[in-house]
Amino acid sequence: MIDYGDLNALSRFYQLLAEHNRLLILYSLGLECRPVSAIIADTGLSQTNVSFHLRKLREAGLVRGEKNGSFVFYCLPDPELLDLLNRFREWHEPANTDH
């Protein structure tokens, strides 16, 4: 039987991922460590918006920051995260009606 406390925490985690801009940022990172300027260029989001969402993602453990000189490069903490996101996307594709 699932613990309802765990289920509530999982629900909050999914709500975090449900935000469009956060998914844009996660896909922008891919398997690379990238500075905020590259994420802004890829996503078209403002610096303020990117920084806000990176903070939320970092607090949830979905990205990590690595300082390199005066820059912080953001990365996915585990390549498996990108694989999971891609698998969810593929599963959800409209052409896939087996679900």
The more confidently predicted of residues 97 and 5 is 5
- Reply yes or no on whether the pLDDT at 70 is more than 60: yes
Q: Where are the beta strands (DSSP E) in the chain?
A: 34-35, 64-68, 71-75
Structural domains of the chain, count? 1
The answer as to whether 97 is a domain residue is no
Looking up residue 40, the CATH number of its domain turns out to be 1.10.10.10
Give the range of the structural domain holding residue 32, as residue numbers without chain letter.
4-92
Instruction: Please check whether residue 19 is in contact with residue 62, taking contact to mean a CB–CB distance below 8 angstroms.
Output: no
Task: Work out the pLDDT band at 97, boundaries 50, 70, 90.
Answer: low
